[in-house]
Structure 1
Amino acid sequence: MATQATPIPSSPSIKMDSAPIGIFDSGVGGLSVYLHLKQQLPDEQYLYYADTLNVPYGPRSSAEIKELTLIAVDWLVQSGCKLIVIACNSASAHALQLARHKYPHIPIVGLVPALKPAVLNSNSKSVAVLATKATLDGELLNTVISDYALPAQVNVVKWFDPNLVPWVEAGMPIQSETPERLKAQLKNFAQQKVDHLVLGCTHYPFFREFVMSQIADENLGIKVVDSGAAIAARVKTLLQQSQSLAASKQVEASNESLYIGHSDQERDDLSLAQSTLSFFVSDPKADLAEVSKLVNRLIHR
């Protein structure tokens, strides 16, 4: 089990509008949410904590996920974040309320798969959720099923593949068994009359184009949805309400500078302050050069 990482020292006099937005995920998947946030909030700075030491969270127990999530949230809070996005469906499903209870003075936004809009827009009365086992078993998703899918008589097909997250983390090589299984499952969804597919893990939007290409090639008639844009809109609303939006032009949108570091080591404060995205990994043995390549590949696709 991971231990608490050393947070970035924050100044007690820092203004909330210039404080960073914190993002947490077990790995790089939360970068899909970051891209939506940056699109809607280009003047903000972002501090990302990737728990690469313990990725993936999907197969872990609820107790483990709660403990690891609080470690990450503690780090982001102590690093001076004005708002935190738990950009991990598994962590949100099991630990969102726990984190909010511990830090009631800081807005914490969690993710839930975009099942509600899928249910409301389904014509076939059959939708699918592709997510980790932890998310599929979690309270947040199943509350949406109880509150919206069951009353609307919409069948929700749940499916998970434990290899999808590692596949994304590895750069999504096409010559592997994982994409072949995914292609086969898309055909199964179509046979089950599924007309909306919900990508219920932040890693999954990175293979959205692959999925949509397969759907088009096979004429499967399935719409693909995820919650990234809705999360970014929610963050923007919360910052507006608290008057904590970053000043316009604080960060040049054309200069997306990136800082990569280990969460438990000293960092270059000047480079950190000048970075649009500061990305920290919890694995002390992680090769930062390789991490940088992966992060750059995902955010500049």
Structure 2
Amino acid sequence: MKIAANTATSRIHSSSIFSDNDTIEKAMVNSDRLNHIANKDHNAPIGLFDSGIGGLSVYLHLAQQLPHERYIYYADTLHVPYGNRDSEDIKALTLTAVEWLYQQGCKLIVIACNSASAHALEIARQHYPQLPIVGLVPAVKPAVLASKSGHVAVLATKATLNGTLLDDVIATVASPSGTTVTKYFDPQLVPWVELGMPDNSETAQNLRQQLQLFAKDGIDQLVLGCTHYPFFKDFVQQEIEAQKLSMQVVDSGQAIAERVKQLLITNQLSAKTHASLDNNELETNAIAKNVRQPLVFYATKYDTSLDMLLPRLLGKHTPLRYYSYPDC
């Protein structure tokens, strides 16, 4: 398995997780990880990983439902986007990211990247058997259930559209109901989000035209199958209204947040709360006041454009801290 070199890889000790032949070493590593989870601090952070900033859309759902939790975000901006990479590259980069988050003491990790989930979720879970790892799959099921025309579309990266996770969902959910699923890929959508989504760009115009084509084909449910895409959800909905199209937009962020909350409770890993308030009361008060723990953000390649883009995407209620190594 080829591992792309980057600054994060050079600063973590991850060689053991890539050794498929040394069973003794692997057993020792797994034993260490069992202890890592068993001794986990309830207030340890939740880790999120994406090839870029798209996974922040998932973070926003998490922060809304679980504002008292701590979060650390790993953005592999050195290798974004993943959608055009081959499966082995995606696996290697994903394992590097998960190992980095593991080294930060994360109690649960969300692979907030559909491409990485499609190709590397299972291998990540194999390497970290006692660490809860949540992956993403496009929200085809709710789209199929809501569709009246029997035709839905999935916007996603090439890696996600060609992955087995999506095909499995289509085979088990869409096909039995006779629902047609159209797959659509535009390689410019992720870079467009990373650039701040200028609405006068060629990519924006292409998206407007594609919505018209979807409507002509009778598509009434549009699934945003990449974590970057919810950031232009408002743009899409405005265009749907302006063009008077009968189409709904679906993303999976809410379901992922609910899944994380369930896993924290099941594994008794929820953040400790003040003794004077029970969990429900504290959570309700925190959400009402928009109180959030600071988001720790790490990028494998720093760009000054992040200083403007991140506050814009995250909103005023998200305190933001950049991660830096002690020797930097």
TM-score scaled by length of structure 1: 0.88
Secondary structure, aligned partner of 2:78: coil
Partner of 1:267 in structure 2? Answer: none
Partner of 1:282 in structure 2? Answer: 300
Partner of 1:104 in structure 2? Answer: 129
* 1:209 equivalent in alignment to 2:209: no
Mapping of residues 37-116 of structure 1, within 5 Å: 37-116=62-141
Find the partner of 1:139 among 144, 157, 164. 164
Secondary structure, aligned partner of 1:129: strand
Asked whether the 8 Å contact 1:92–1:110 carries over to 2, the reply is yes
1:255 to 1:234, Cα distance in 2 relative to 1, 3 A: closer
Letter aligned with residue 59 of structure 2 = Y
Shift of 1:7: 5.2
C-alpha RMSD of matched pairs (Å):
2.1
Secondary structure, aligned partner of 2:42: helix
Shift of 1:5: 4.8
In structure 2, what is the Cα distance between the partners aligned to 1:78 and 1:139?
A: 29
Letter aligned with residue 160 of structure 2 = T
Larger Rg computed on CA atoms = 2
Percent identical pairs in the alignment equals 58
In structure 1, what is the Cα distance between the partners aligned to 2:247 and 2:235?
A: 13
* 1:220 equivalent in alignment to 2:235: no
Shift of 1:122: 1.0
Find the partner of 1:193 among 196, 203, 218. 218
Letter aligned with residue 142 of structure 1 = D
In structure 1, what is the Cα distance between the partners aligned to 2:101 and 2:312?
A: 24
Shift of 1:247: 2.0
Partner of 2:43 in structure 1? Answer: 18
Asked whether the 8 Å contact 2:67–2:291 carries over to 1, the reply is no
Letter aligned with residue 168 of structure 2 = T
Asked whether the 8 Å contact 1:32–1:202 carries over to 2, the reply is yes
Asked whether the 8 Å contact 1:127–1:155 carries over to 2, the reply is yes
Shift of 1:220: 0.9
Partner of 2:24 in structure 1? Answer: none
In structure 2, what is the Cα distance between the partners aligned to 1:70 and 1:94?
A: 11
1:279 to 1:128, Cα distance in 2 relative to 1, 3 A: same
Partner of 2:11 in structure 1? Answer: 6
Find the partner of 1:129 among 154, 165, 169. 154
TM-score scaled by length of structure 2: 0.81
In structure 1, what is the Cα distance between the partners aligned to 2:67 and 2:210?
A: 37
Shift of 1:174: 1.3
For structure 1, which runs of at least 5 residues remain unmatched after alignment? Answer: 258-274
Asked whether the 8 Å contact 1:93–1:138 carries over to 2, the reply is yes
Asked whether the 8 Å contact 1:7–1:76 carries over to 2, the reply is no
Shift of 1:121: 1.7
Shift of 1:255: 7.8
Partner of 2:265 in structure 1? Answer: 240
Secondary structure, aligned partner of 1:151: helix
Number of residue pairs aligned between Structure 1 and Structure 2 = 278
Secondary structure, aligned partner of 1:149: helix
1:78 to 1:15, Cα distance in 2 relative to 1, 3 A: same
Asked whether the 8 Å contact 1:44–1:276 carries over to 2, the reply is no
